[in-house]
Amino acid sequence: MDRRSFIKAGAAAALAGISAPALSQSARQKVLRFVPYTDLTIFDPMWSTVDITRDYGYMIYDTLFGLDANFQPQPQLAEGLLWGDDGRSCTITLRSNITFHDGEPIRARDCVASLKRWSQAAPMGATLFALTDELVAVDDRTLRFRLKRPFPILPAVLGQLSAPVPLIMPERVAQTDVKTQITDRTGSGPFKFKADEFQLGNLAVFEKFQGYQPTPSTARGLTAGPKMVHFDRVEWRRIPDASTAAAALQTGDVDWIGGPTSETVELLAGFKDVDLPRLEDIPSMAMMRINALHAPFNNKKIRQALLPAIDQAEFCMSVAGTNPQNFATGSGFFPPGTALASDAGLDPLKGPRSIEKARQLLKEAGYSNERVRLLGAADSPASTTPLAQVAADMLGKLGLNLDIALLDNASVAQRRRSEEPIDKGGWSLSCWLFPGTWFVDPGTNIMLRGNGRNAWFGWPTIPKLEELRDAWLNSPSSDDRKRIAQEMQVVGMDELPAIPLGAIYRQTALKKYLVDRVPTATVFWNIRRG
């Protein structure tokens, strides 16, 4: 064989290997390619409170109730409910012809088992079941709560957005011990999970569940209303590098980036075919958590001394950029725009900010150069890292004896569990960015708890907050609940289990041909190609 023949043969062999792209244009139209902010690693929504597991839960499971735009519960798998016995009995009827992915009908006993398992994982579930004498399946389509006392927010609790969400699974799956992660992924929701195509850290595939029956309820909003699926297939493609994700969106490799960084948003703003709306109507809440166990912040006066130095705009801009559309200052413990948000108690965060005044207050409060450790993540550029950097700058200016511990996320998550004093590896302050859905009411608001060692890391003991929370849970009217929530915020701003740093409207990046997206984090019903 001479050289020319060899090259010809080689070229022919190479061309023979060229095949058509994996997806034709028409097939690609029925596929939605989405870039999640992190890896999907946990498939048991009762095992983890991370957002992506909750989002996975909403893909493949449905709930008895959803919440509309006004946070009012609306029936999903339920057809309706009936209160009786002066509010101490709640009978829920299921819709007919609703089925699991395996074709089995969704029965009341599946719901009972699912709710019982959820109650072992979710704080609000535990609260509900502590008030429940009995939960039984009356027949295939009816389940009944017998309560110790009236609990009017029961339907809202069954529709809560905060993880773990009370998702409905088959009884055989829900009977799995909550200490064991479930492996059967038979769901009740609009999508089926394609376990055979799953690649850890790379790809998760969902396909439309043809047997799904959307609710006839006309109320719409967060998780309420008919869940219409317009794609045969949804692919979650993990692209860890922000620039690469942006490039993939520009070239049409993917259709939607869930949580782009603010730099990526700025980069994509110049592209005509990319839309950059708010990811969700409920903003994320930035908080400075204070460890109440040890000096100097076991002194309320020293906690309060920080307030004049807190500039919410600076914290917000570090995460969201300078566009004021993307953040809200003057926010407290409840997300702006939600039912319980108010100005109550927020005066110390308003008006001109003053480092000098804060210094003066620290002196008056008796701060005597105790070491202060700021714990923060160094590898979360889209959320907590910039918050920690702004906090470090501010605390430095206050003249505190500051020790900055910027670690990777996993280390921070473990280190925050330390209840030890600072010299034994403990911490004083840490900044967090929480999903706003966690904060919409006192039931799930982890920053407004005062139950000491059982509280979220920081362990504040504030009996008044616990009293008010109990009152809120048992309150019969929404006006009363609003008043109690305001009072809780006032107590929170006085006791300072945490300092609100502002609210951030995270943006999402998607191709303009995608329309009708539900502005509830990353859910995949109703969205379609325009």
Partner 1 sequence: MLAYILKRILATIPVMLVVALTVFSLLFLAPGDPATMIAGDQASAADIERIRQSLGLDQPFLVQFGKWLWRLVHFDLGNSVFTGQPVTTLMAERVGPTVSVMLLTLLLSICIAVPLGVVAASKSGSWIDRAIMSVSVVGFSVPLFVVGYILAWTFSLKLQWLPPQGYTPLAEGLWPWLQRLILPAVTLGFVYIVLIARITRASMLEVLQQDYVRTARAKGLGPRSVLFLHALKNGAVPVITVIGIGFAALIGGTVVTETVFTIPGMGRLTVDAILRRDYPVIQGLVLVFSFVYVLVNLAVDLIYTLVDPRIRY
Interaction site with partner 1 (CB under 8 A): 14, 16-22, 39, 41-43, 47-50, 53, 121, 123, 162-163, 178-181, 183, 199-203, 237-241, 243-244, 247-248, 250-251, 253, 379, 407-415, 417, 432, 434, 438, 446, 453-454, 456
| Residue 410 vs 515, nearer CB to partner 1 | 410
| Residue 18 vs 130, nearer CB to partner 1 | 18
- The least distance separating partner 1 from the CB of residue 313, rounded to whole angstroms, comes to 24
What separation in angstroms does the CA of 444 have from each of 335, 406, 488?
A: 13, 28, 13
d(CA 454, CA 460): 9
Q: What does the buried/exposed string (b/e) look like for 322-343 if buried means 16 or more CB atoms within 10 Å of the residue's CB?
A: eeeebbbbebbbbbbebbbbbe
Cα 91 off chain centre by: 29
| Residue 247 vs 339, nearer CB to partner 1 | 247
- The least distance separating partner 1 from the CB of residue 348, rounded to whole angstroms, comes to 26
| Residue 26 vs 251, nearer CB to partner 1 | 251
Placement of tokens 């150069």 in the chain: 369
- The least distance separating partner 1 from the CB of residue 27, rounded to whole angstroms, comes to 14
How many helices and strands, by DSSP H and E, does the chain display?
16, 21
Q: Which amino acid is at 468?
A: L
| Residue 227 vs 237, nearer CB to partner 1 | 237
| Residue 256 vs 367, nearer CB to partner 1 | 256
Placement of tokens 């339907």 in the chain: 155
Give me the sign of the Cα torsion angle 274, 438, 295, 417. Answer: negative
- The least distance separating partner 1 from the CB of residue 41, rounded to whole angstroms, comes to 4
Q: Which two tokens stand for residue 470?
A: 């109990």
| Residue 4 vs 453, nearer CB to partner 1 | 453
- The least distance separating partner 1 from the CB of residue 476, rounded to whole angstroms, comes to 28
d(CA 123, CA 157): 11
- The least distance separating partner 1 from the CB of residue 57, rounded to whole angstroms, comes to 12
Q: Which two tokens stand for residue 221?
A: 């909003």
| Residue 387 vs 446, nearer CB to partner 1 | 446
d(CA 204, CA 201): 9
Q: Phi then psi for 451, rounded to 5 degrees?
A: -95, 40
Using alpha carbons, select from 363, 249, 347 the residue that is nearest to residue 299. 363
Could you tell me which residues come within 8 angstroms of residue 215 by beta carbon, excluding any fewer than 6 positions away?
A: 66, 74, 75, 76, 77, 95, 225, 226, 227
- The least distance separating partner 1 from the CB of residue 256, rounded to whole angstroms, comes to 15
Placement of tokens 């926010």 in the chain: 331
- The least distance separating partner 1 from the CB of residue 17, rounded to whole angstroms, comes to 3
- The least distance separating partner 1 from the CB of residue 63, rounded to whole angstroms, comes to 18
- The least distance separating partner 1 from the CB of residue 122, rounded to whole angstroms, comes to 9
d(CA 327, CA 150): 38
What are the start-end ranges of the E strands in 359-494?
371-377, 401-407, 429-434
| Residue 237 vs 303, nearer CB to partner 1 | 237
Check residue 309 and report its DSSP letter: G
| Residue 212 vs 456, nearer CB to partner 1 | 456
